[in-house]
Amino acid sequence: MKAPFQTRYLILTLVCLVFGVAIVIQMIRINYSPSAKDLIAKSEDYQGVAEVIYPSRGNIHDRSGHILATNKIAYEVGIDLKYVADPESIAFTAASLLDMDYADAFALASTAKQETDENRYFVLASYIDEDIILELDRLKESYYQRRLDEGTLTPSLSGLVWTPMQQRVYPENELAANILGFFNYFSRESAQGVYGVEETYNRLLTGKPESVYMANDPYLVEALPDIEPGASLVLTIDREIQAMLEDTLADAIDWSGAEGGTIIVIDPETGELLGMAATPTFDPNNYWDYEESFPGITPYNRAIGYAYEPGSVFKVITMAAALDSGVVDPSTTYTDSSGVFWVDGAWPIYNWDGGAWGEQDMTGCMQHSLNVCLAHIAVDLLGEDLFYQYVQAFGFGRSTGIDLAGEANYPLRLPDDNQWVVLDLATNSFGQGIAVTPIQMISAVAAIANDGKMMAPHIVRSIVDGGQQYDITPQIIGNPISAEAAQTLTTMLAIALEEEASEALVDGYQLAGKTGTGEIPTELGYTSTLTNTSFVGWGPTDDPKFVVYVWLEKPTISKWGSVVAAPVFRDVVEQLVVLMKIPPDEIRLQMAEN
Amino acid sequence: MKNRLLQAYKQAPWRVQMQWIGLFLLALVILAALAGLYLSINSKAATAGRSIQFLESNIEAINNNIAELTTDLAEAKSIERMKTRARELGFTLINPQSAVYLQVPGYVPEDEMVLAPPRVNIINETPIIQSAYKDSLWDWLAKNIWLIPGSSSEEGGVQ
């Protein structure tokens, strides 16, 4: 006897079984179907996306903490094809607000209709200001309201999306641009610092980007790793001094008709650069204008990237060598009877004015900038071995190693070289036939101002990384001359300036310094009437706090350093002593006594 | 006789049915409890996941805001703006000859720029190898099972 409902139970069981088997078969079929890979890929897309998180780039501060480089928020605007409903409205908006070509934007926004499997996100524009984003947001909202009111599907900006991103910004605009360099942020993947501090410290400033998986599925979401921002830098420059130098340089170029120039101020005790102005310059916020501002092979920072024949400022080095080696002392005399010094009996060396200056002591030689006297010291007293030994000890012929990208170096022509002749020794003694960069020149002279101790010139004072500040310790890189020789030379140059009643003198402050007028070689020799004019000086002489180097290239109002560069030096020092809070000597010495 | 014995051991059919129904209901309750637990944990995980997403987005927004404010502040304090403000307030650049210097007893000049504490060498006193990696099974049992509550595990010892 059959149990009641047995057949019905059997049928129901069979139906369930068949249904279950069908589900399993369908699952297997889907898994092995040709579209399986696409389906899996799509599902993974919806689960989340792998992204690289870029830490915010470190700030750059001046020595007082003022921000010279930081980051602001800009936006990337793109099309997410998944959600595009109205390509025409998107294209019209992109054309009107993002300055895009309507046809290009429309083609991108329409891609979904033709190639659904293609990339589903297109970047329309990067680094868009917040004002435009607010306008886009307002427009999107108003279209939404309109659709609700009219019960239509268009207009719609659905699919037009924007994401915030950090953009490098230089709040002081052109100030210190030659020192800072710039960050070419437009292509995020290949962005890097170019020139200056941005290039030298690029890795530190950048920090460490990390790849993370950004899950949409809430079950897979994990807290993002704590990504440290890039290290921040505190520079040695003072923005007040930097601004003053840049203004003074611009005025000097305007006044003198010079093609370009540079002014550097350095602290001789530490090698810290307090300011460095150079031409040309530009606004690194618009770094894409770089080639317009620096055409051809124009160096980005003339103060470190351009070698030239310095002229008479180099006599300071020759005299330092002579004093330190003991071949002369301040009272040693030289009689310039004819205004000419014959090298090997074949090559004549003349004074700057072609005249003869009679008997001069060493201070007189420096005061009147006598080429024949310095050539005599180099050729007859020092000799090539000793002379070049000192020149190299002062750092010429090699890079200073300053922490700024783009430093140039011109090798010295030494007696071992085939092309060297004894005439080189004579001309090198007064700064001709030798190429130096302004940073080499000021570093060498700073050693004299610092009792013979040569400090490594540097631009970064501290690095702030991982919540800790690392201060850079000043480095002594050499001791080319003794303290006694350095002090003697400082006194000689101070006397020389005062007796010359130089344009470089500043009331109340005793300064030491030397002018320079360098002839410019051409392919045919020294045929150009244009010159490089310069002045290097330091003070206060009893306790030097600054060394200032002024170089103006090819001025047209005069070819002499004493006329062109010396007054600029005075202008700089007059402002510098105020900014550095250095009282006049009399007051300072009185205060020291109390 | 045999039949009578069997009859004595056999449970009443309604009792068997009740047992089956009871077992089925028990399984159903266990399954429902497990499903409930699963749903509860999943909903908590999903809520936590959403909270993380929300907080991450908040962090990003705050960081962006900080960056924006830092830039605004830097621009507001830029040297050009400060010069303009100074001029508007009637200040002019001093020349060194007209400067008056006063000796102020007790005046301490500006300190070095400090953006963060100086670097310090931190000596980590935590043992590099955790005790969990050095203990034997016996040590572990001693510390975690027989240890008197309140006594330090490092002081250890079976009490």
Q: Where are the alpha helices (DSSP H) in A115-238?
A: 130-150, 177-180, 196-200, 202-206
**Chain B residues within 8 A of A64 when measuring between CB atoms:** 110, 113
Measured in Å, how far apart are chain A's first and last C-alpha atoms? Answer: 129
Task: Please state which CATH class domain A55-107+122-235 belongs to.
Answer: alpha beta
Q: What is the pLDDT of residue B8?
A: 64
pLDDT of A116 over the 70 cut: no
Which residues between 511 and 570 in chain A have a beta carbon less than 8 angstroms from any beta carbon of chain B?
none
Of B49, B71, B103, the CB nearest to A594: B103
Partner-chain contact A223 B78, CB within 8 Å: no
Are the C-beta atoms of residues A275 and A499 closer than 8 Å to each other? no
Q: What is the pLDDT of residue B154?
A: 44
Candidate from A19-33, A317-331, A522-536, B45-59 with smallest mean pLDDT: A522-536
Question: SS3 for B91?
Answer: coil
Candidate from A237-246, A357-366, B113-122 with smallest mean pLDDT: B113-122
Of B56, B96, B117, the CB nearest to A468: B117
Q: Quick: pLDDT tens for A384-417.
A: 999 999 999 999 999 999 999 989 988 999 999 9
Distance CA A316, CA A513 (A): 9
Phi and psi dihedrals of A172, rounded to 5?
Answer: -90, 10
A243 and chain B in contact, CB less than 8 A: yes
Q: What is the pLDDT of residue B113?
A: 77
pLDDT of A83 over the 70 cut: yes
Partner-chain contact B95 A218, CB within 8 Å: no
Q: What is the pLDDT of residue B152?
A: 46
Using pLDDT thresholds of 50, 70 and 90, give the confidence band for residue B159: very low
Chain B residue whose CA is closest to A172: B78
Partner-chain contact B56 A223, CB within 8 Å: yes
Using pLDDT thresholds of 50, 70 and 90, give the confidence band for residue B155: very low
Candidate from A20-24, A549-553, B63-67 with smallest mean pLDDT: B63-67
- Give the angle subtended at the CA of A160 by the CAs of A156 and A164, to the nearest 5°: 145
Q: Quick: pLDDT tens for A254-292.
A: 999 999 999 999 999 999 999 999 999 999 999 989 999
Domain(s) of CATH 3.40.710.10: residues in chain A: 239-289+301-593
Q: What is the pLDDT of residue A110?
A: 82
Q: Quick: pLDDT tens for A552-589.
A: 999 999 989 999 999 999 999 999 999 998 999 998 89
A343: its two tokens:
């090298």
Average pLDDT, chain B: 80
User: Which range has the top average pLDDT, A115-124, A378-387, B135-144?
Assistant: A378-387
For the whole prediction, is pTM greater than 0.90?
no
Eight-class DSSP state of B96:
G
Of A223, A234, A587, the CB nearest to B101: A587
Q: Quick: pLDDT tens for B30-63.
A: 999 999 999 999 899 889 888 988 998 898 889 8
**Chain A residues within 8 A of B75 when measuring between CB atoms:** 171
Are the C-beta atoms of residues B70 and A67 closer than 8 Å to each other? yes
Interface-testing mutation among B97, B102, B115, B122, with chain A (most A C-beta atoms within 10 A)? B115
Phi and psi dihedrals of A171, rounded to 5?
Answer: -60, -25
Average pLDDT, chain A: 90
Are the C-beta atoms of residues A462 and A278 closer than 8 Å to each other? no
Nearest to A185 by CA among A203, A209, A206: A206
Q: Which residue has the higher pLDDT, A246 or B134?
A: A246
Q: Write out the H or E segment, with its range, that includes residue A500.
A: helix A483-500
Q: What is the pLDDT of residue B126?
A: 61
Distance CA A265, CA A280 (A): 18
What are the respective helix, strand and coil percentages of chain A, to the nearest 5?
40, 20, 35
pLDDT of A89 over the 60 cut: yes
Residue-wise DSSP of A451-470:
TTPEEPPBSEEEEEETTEEE
Average pLDDT for residues A437-461, to the nearest whole number? Answer: 96
Average pLDDT for residues A421-445, to the nearest whole number? Answer: 95
Are the C-beta atoms of residues A204 and A231 closer than 8 Å to each other? yes
Are the C-beta atoms of residues A589 and A556 closer than 8 Å to each other? no
Average pLDDT for residues A521-540, to the nearest whole number? Answer: 85
Q: Quick: pLDDT tens for A191-215.
A: 899 999 999 999 999 998 888 888 8
Which residues are registered as beta bridge partners of A50? A213
Are the C-beta atoms of residues A230 and B63 closer than 8 Å to each other? no
pLDDT of A439 over the 50 cut: yes
Measured in Å, how far apart are chain B's first and last C-alpha atoms? Answer: 66
B143: its two tokens:
């510390």
Residue-wise DSSP of A264-332:
EEEETTTTEEEEEEESS---GGGGGGHHHHS-TT--S-HHHH--B--GGGGHHHHHHHHHHHTS--TT-
Using pLDDT thresholds of 50, 70 and 90, give the confidence band for residue B64: confident
Using pLDDT thresholds of 50, 70 and 90, give the confidence band for residue A365: very high
Distance CA A157, CA B6 (A): 83
> Percent of chain A, pLDDT > 90?
62
Domain(s) of CATH 3.90.1310.10: residues in chain A: 55-107+122-235
Q: What is the pLDDT of residue B5?
A: 57
A1: its two tokens:
């006897």
CA distances from A540 to A507, A512, A586, B103 (A): 12, 8, 11, 19
Q: What is the pLDDT of residue A477?
A: 93
Using pLDDT thresholds of 50, 70 and 90, give the confidence band for residue B125: low
Of A221, A462, A574, the CB nearest to B53: A221
Eight-class DSSP state of A518:
E
Q: Quick: pLDDT tens for A140-170.
A: 999 999 988 888 888 888 888 888 888 999 9
Shortest Cα distance from A75 to chain B (angstroms)? 11
Distance CA A118, CA A149 (A): 34
Question: SS3 for A361?
Answer: strand
A93: its two tokens:
């908006």
Q: Write out the H or E segment, with its range, that includes residue A505.
A: none
Amino acid sitting at position A293: S
Amino acid sitting at position A82: K
B41: its two tokens:
């944990």
Partner-chain contact A239 B79, CB within 8 Å: yes
**Chain A residues within 8 A of B70 when measuring between CB atoms:** 59, 67, 70-71
Q: What is the pLDDT of residue A260?
A: 93
Q: Which residue has the higher pLDDT, A264 or A38?
A: A264
Eight-class DSSP state of A472:
P
Superfamily grouping for domain A239-289+301-593: DD-peptidase/beta-lactamase superfamily (3.40.710.10)
Average pLDDT for residues A166-179, to the nearest whole number? Answer: 94
**Chain A residues within 8 A of B113 when measuring between CB atoms:** 61, 63-65, 234, 461-462
